[in-house]
Amino acid sequence: MLLEIQELTKFFGGLAAIYEFDMNVREGEIVGLIGPNGAGKSTLFNLITGVLRPTGGRIIFKGKDIVGRKPHEIAELGIGRSFQLNPLFGDFSVLQNVSASFHLHPKSSILGIYFNTPTYRRNEAYILEKSLEILRLVGLEKVKDELAKHLSHGHQKMLGVARALAVQPRLLLLDEPIAGMNTEEIEFTLSAILKTREQGVTIVLVEHNMRIMDLCDRVSVISFGRNIAEGTPSDVRNNKEVIEAYLGGGQVA
């Protein structure tokens, strides 16, 4: 088991945003986390990545409890994420955006940078090579020299994923990766996510668009901070509690 979440709870004042939430993620899976607005999905990602500290419970990654660790420490352990609103460098090229995200691997000293040492040059060559690999993986190599602010919405979302991959994660958290996309952009993004999993990256994704369920091995449904159902996409589509809590009746499309 790569990630184990046990009775995770987060209170904001008297409001429980996450309450005794349990979820497991196996190595190599794509797990979907769905639920209505305000259900606690992004809060859960913020707890996993150390942006927020839980009120209670455990988050176990690769056998270690990571509660209380700082975000950069959790990233170093191998957890990367994308965001609903991409924090891109608009006046940087696509390639520069990805290269700038290699802040954990490898590292050069200030003196090495100043004197342009062989170690610094090797590190820069490594970063360039890996950045191009990531862009090929997510389908952005052809636009590598374009400014990020000139990309289409779908390409900007995938650039956010590419930047998260620069952390070289074992676990990748994707926050609404296909939100606001047209049909062509959705197909492009779903294909890129599958290619990412083929590279050995485990993925947990939050999404409102039910198309994402076609991608998932398992789906968890969150409502008012609680995990109310978990199973295959088919199981979830036909779960009565999910239909009532999430859709108010009727079957999941």
More confident of the two residues 181 and 61: 61
Q: What is the pTM of this model?
A: 0.89
pLDDT for the residue 22: 96
**Residue closest to 155 by CA, chosen among 125, 133, 186, 131:** 186
Topology of domain 3-247 in CATH is: Rossmann fold (3.40.50)
- DSSP code string of 2-40: -EEEEEEEEEETTEEEEEEEEEEE-TT-EEEEE--TTSS
- Cα of first residue to Cα of last residue in the chain, in angstroms, is 30
Q: What is the DSSP letter of 224?
A: T
Provide the pLDDT confidence category of residue 160 given band limits of 50, 70 and 90: very high
Alpha-carbon distance values, 175 to 7, 83, 124, 159, 208 (Å): 22, 5, 30, 13, 10
Range of lowest pLDDT (107-111, 176-180, 229-233): 107-111
Judged by DSSP in three states, 91 sits in coil
Q: Is the confidence at residue 105, as pLDDT, over 80?
A: no
Judged by DSSP in three states, 54 sits in coil
Q: What is the DSSP letter of 246?
A: I
58 with 8: CB under 8 angstroms? yes
What is the number of alpha carbons within 13 Å of residue 46 lying toward its C-beta? 14
Q: Is the confidence at residue 113, as pLDDT, over 60?
A: no
Q: What is the dihedral of CA 99, 173, 171, 221, to 10 degrees?
A: -170
30 with 173: CB under 8 angstroms? no
Provide the pLDDT confidence category of residue 180 given band limits of 50, 70 and 90: confident
pLDDT for the residue 104: 58
- Cβ of 48: how many Cβ atoms within 10 Å? 24
Q: What is the DSSP letter of 51?
A: S
pLDDT for the residue 252: 47
Q: Which tokens go with 63?
A: 């056998």
Q: Is the confidence at residue 132, as pLDDT, over 60?
A: yes
* Per-residue model confidence as pLDDT tens digits over 181-216: 888 888 888 999 999 999 999 999 998 777 788 899
Q: Is the confidence at residue 250, as pLDDT, over 50?
A: no
- The domain ranges of the chain are 3-247
